[in-house]
Amino acid sequence: MTAKTDNHSLSVKFALRAGFLDSYHEGKTVVFDACMGNGELWRRLRVGRRLRYWGVDVKPKRGFVQVDSERVLAMPGWKFDVIDVDTYGMPWGHWLGILRNGAGALTVFLTVGNVVMGGSGLCRELREVVGFGDLKIPPAICGRLNSDFTLEMIGYAKLAGWSIEELKEAVPDKPGTARYFGVRMRREAKTKNG
């Protein structure tokens, strides 16, 4: 079993984020790093950029308040320009919070863990979006389904009232361990009747 590391594929993650920042965020930008780990990635990304940064993590760290970022994104009223969700598993709880409560234009970075071995369950958010409900699915194939429906989960943004302006996947240093996505999206204006 591979040990978890906060800086896995750091150069790939850096390049993906730097590209989106350079394309969409020239002025002052508010960044919410939902799973900051040791903070190394965004410490590097902040060099030479006008970023207001709030990094949190559920793991306790000396000098930081322990925060459940999924709960932050589930609350209405936050005002972030960039959201980075680099969990060790499925980011879909965070993603659905972003889709429900975000406004305007957003850049979102998602790290999707590739768990394909048996024994995992199908994540609740995937069941909700794809419509599996309470369908009994053998644990041996749940991990694969969690990975296979990644683009459907990202595409759910359209049904939630967003237009995706750019979607880019970056290839990790060690393929198969995770998938890295950058998403630039904008909340679609509601029509008079909708």
Cβ-contact 31, 54 below 8 angstroms: yes
* More confident site: 58 or 127: 58
In a domain, 144, yes or no: no
How far is Cα 97 from Cα 124, in angstroms, rounded to an integer? 13
Could you give the number of structural domains in the chain? 1
How far is Cα 163 from Cα 180, in angstroms, rounded to an integer? 20
In a domain, 141, yes or no: no
In a domain, 85, yes or no: yes
Dump pLDDT digits (tens) for 53-106.
999 999 888 877 789 999 999 999 999 999 999 987 789 999 999 999 999 999
Q: What is the CATH number of the domain that holds 164?
A: 3.40.50.150
Which of 41, 122, 117, 128 minimizes the C-alpha distance to 85? 41
In a domain, 125, yes or no: no
Contacts with 129 (C-beta within 8 Å, 6 or more apart), sequence order: 92, 96, 149, 152, 153, 156
Dump pLDDT digits (tens) for 25-59.
998 999 999 999 999 999 999 999 999 999 999 98
Q: Which residue has the tokens 């594929």?
A: 9
